[in-house]
A and B are shown apart, each in its own frame.
Chain A
Amino acid sequence: MKRNTLVVTAVLLILAAFAWAGWANWEYRMQAAERLRASAAQGELVLDAGDVPQYVSPLQGNPAPPFTLEDLSGKKVSLADFKGRALAINFWATWCAPCKVETPWLIDLRSRYGAQGFEVLAISADDIDRKDPRKFSDEKQEIARFVQRMQMPYPVLIDGDSISDPYGGLDALPTTFFVDRNGTVVAAQLGMTTKDELERNIKKALGIVK
């Protein structure tokens, strides 16, 4: 009887240990899956009909995530303020050389398509330290210098990092989302492409081409 009790206890203990191991492993996998789902918002490169890699964002076909950020004067600017307009939401940074190359193209395309209801919203991803007022002021000045030198005529917002998650993490710059008049993301570009590609996506946002 005693021996049988010991055997049953040992079996139960072993079962409990295995069950715990299984549960712990399952829990770990759940967490990994969560992380994976979060990273899946980052989009991917796929080949189009002409075998050209195209960045496909999971935001495409969905409403552009809402945000409110400050411009360089401290004024709050919301995505909702641009309701009814076609937008290029361009994430950039002063330290990003390809962003600098792309900027004159955006300026030119805005002047060409602005009358049709197109606007560029440039969102700087430069580091911002709000805790240190002096540093914050210096950082803003650095961005302002760049904006002035590049003669960027469109709204420039700061602290893009604070909205990076809903926009897929912004692991690389420039990243641009093209939004139609209804607020839906119709195209996205990761990295610098060509001016023609920018124009094609602007036309998509304006509904000129599909």
Chain B
Amino acid sequence: MIAGKTKKRIAIAAALALASALAIGQRPLFDEAPRSAAKPAVVFLYPEQVTVPAGKPTKIDLHFRVAPGLHINSHTPNERELIPATFSIPAGSGVRLEGAVYPPGTDFTLPLDPSTKLSVYSGEFILQARIVATPGDHLVEATLRYQACDSNACMPPKTITAAIDVIGK
């Protein structure tokens, strides 16, 4: 039989142990906030789902957004070394990419070199994909490869996924 005093001690010990466990878990180990969150320069906006006639080429508009202050090369950059924005759909997804119509790029001049004119996308841009879907529901993980820069520096090329639920009817 445990006496009332002992029970009280157990309860206090339990409360202390609980507080210690939580305190250890919450204690900050490094005071500084992360300096660079790895946010993508481009995000896919919509559509999340499209319904298309099965077996028939259909045009769909895909909306993307480039982060403020950044730009990416258009599909037709002005110089051959620059990496173009390229949309693709993986084989075997039940949806075939027949072609894509990219928007024209806008001119961008580097502040430190007015003679360099780049063809870029910034803000929101829409590319039109012509797809053919087999009958059924296909979760397509399409991709956009791009290379982003700001006025003075460039980030390595990157590929993002645009997940689209394509229903072929």
B-binding residues in A (CB < 8 A): 1, 4, 7-8, 11, 14-15, 18-19, 21-26, 29-30, 32-33, 36-37, 39-40, 42, 44, 93-101, 125, 127, 142, 146, 171-175, 190-194
Contact = CB atoms under 8 A, between A and B. Distances in A.
A97 B154 contact: yes
Contacts of A29: 25, 27-29
A27 to B, nearest CB: 9
A95 B35 contact: no
24 contacts: A4-B1, A7-B7, A15-B14, A25-B24, A26-B25, A26-B27, A30-B29, A33-B29, A36-B34, A40-B32, A42-B35, A93-B154, A94-B81, A97-B79, A97-B82, A97-B116, A97-B154, A100-B116, A101-B112, A101-B116, A171-B156, A172-B155, A173-B154, A192-B112
B17 interface: yes
Given A8-B10, A25-B26, A37-B30, A99 B154 contact: yes
Contact of A18 (B1, B17, B26, B112): B17
A171 B36 contact: yes
Contacts of B153: 96, 98, 172-175, 190-192
Contacts of A174: 153
Contacts of A93: 154, 156
B121 to A, nearest CB: 14
Q: Is the interface of A mostly helix, strand, loop or mixed?
A: helix
Interface residues of B, number: 41
A30 B82 CA distance: 40
A95 B154 contact: yes
B91 interface: no
A11 B10 contact: yes
Contacts of A97: 79, 82, 110, 116, 118, 149, 154
Nearest to A44: B35
A93 to B, nearest CB: 7
A192 B112 CA distance: 8
A40 B31 CA distance: 12
Most buried by A among B27, B30, B156: B156
A60 B17 CA distance: 45
B157 to A, nearest CB: 7
A194 B1 contact: no
Nearest to B154: A96
Contact of B157 (A36, A40, A95): A95
